[in-house]
Amino acid sequence: MLGCIQLYAQDYIDIASVSYMTTPAATYEDGSSGSAINEWNIDLDFPIVLNEKTALLTGFSANQLQIRLNPTSIDRTSLNAISMRLGMHHTYSEKWDATYMIIPKIASDFTNGFSTGYQWAALALFSKTKSPRVKYTYGLYTNTEEYGLMIVPILGGYFKSADHLWEAKVLLPIKVDVNYMLRPSLRTGLVFDGLGTSYSLQNAEYADHYVNRASNELYGYLQHKVTPSIYLRAKVGYSFLRAYKVYDSDDTISFSTASIFFGDNRTVLNTDVTDGFQFKAELVYRFNFPSQQ
């Protein structure tokens, strides 16, 4: 979702990726037999350089997640999201640069086509370069989720060791990636992904409802460089504090920041799944800039 905001001190940008995630059958909180959770993701980014200081950022994301929202559900529900990204990256000085972006999105089960599930997100990131290998990032992300307004302060940065063995990409509380080069074509690392989302529901089981998805995912992974531009990643991880809770469309909150909800007096209408292991495979196309020392 946050594809082309990879504007760290790094000497590359991942401009296309496809991933597939699956779980063993996740059990429900009442102990009922489990439901497999499967998810596809596609991300495309098209940065356009306007001049030496400014680049136009455009992108597209789509994902589909399938899950049984109740142990009594006959069929799995298909949760879908399509989003566009439009923004700008501007360099103000040798030390400071910024990224601004708007992200229109539709997220629903598509039972009624594109009639529900519209959301608007905005992002502002400001980065300070300390050295060619170290950068600090500060910002704010906000989105009009189905349950209400989400506001997420962002603190992070980028670090690469002098020998290029260690690399860390941090956007707290959204994402953290720390990795180490085992050999030139192979890296291993840990990645945390903690940003939830919501989908409008208009199906026969839950008409005029929404599902609030929360998933704090911690993966260990191996990354193989097939060519200088094509990478394969295999991930094994665990999703903790995982939730796919269904609410009535009128049952909302005051606002949220990441996974903290304020004014939350909502009534959950389904039996949720428990935490569990997840497996993920990714194929990435990377554009490499001239190497930075």
pLDDT band at 76 (very low <50, low <70, confident <90, very high): very high
pLDDT in tens, 114-124: 999 999 999 99
The full set of domain ranges for the chain reads 3-288
- DSSP annotation string for 55-66: EEEEEEEEEEEE
Annotation: CATH topology of 3-288:
Porin (2.40.160)
Q: Is the dihedral of CA 62, 33, 195, 238 positive or negative?
A: negative
Between CA 229 and CA 224 the distance in angstroms is: 11
Percent pLDDT > 90 in the chain is 84
Q: How far is CA 242 from CA 37, 42, 115, 131, 193, in A?
A: 12, 22, 28, 38, 12
Question: Does residue 290 register a pLDDT over 70?
Answer: no
Percent pLDDT > 70 in the chain is 95
Question: Does residue 293 register a pLDDT over 50?
Answer: no
pLDDT in tens, 146-198: 999 999 999 999 999 999 999 999 999 999 999 999 999 999 999 999 888 99
| Residues sharing a CB contact under 8 Å with residue 41, sequence separation 6 or more, in sequence order | 17, 18, 19, 20, 21, 61, 62, 63
pLDDT band at 109 (very low <50, low <70, confident <90, very high): very high
pLDDT band at 87 (very low <50, low <70, confident <90, very high): very high
| Residues sharing a CB contact under 8 Å with residue 136, sequence separation 6 or more, in sequence order | 127, 128, 130, 156, 157
Between CA 13 and CA 260 the distance in angstroms is: 31
Give the mean model confidence (pLDDT) for residues 202-230: 95
- Reading the block at residue 78, the tokens are 């298909």
pLDDT in tens, 12-53: 888 999 999 999 888 999 988 888 999 999 999 999 999 999
Per-residue DSSP letter, 219: E
Between CA 147 and CA 156 the distance in angstroms is: 27
Give the mean model confidence (pLDDT) for residues 85-99: 95
- pLDDT reported for residue 26: 84
Encoded amino acid at 219, one letter: Y
- pLDDT reported for residue 34: 80
Between CA 281 and CA 236 the distance in angstroms is: 9
Give the mean model confidence (pLDDT) for residues 54-83: 94
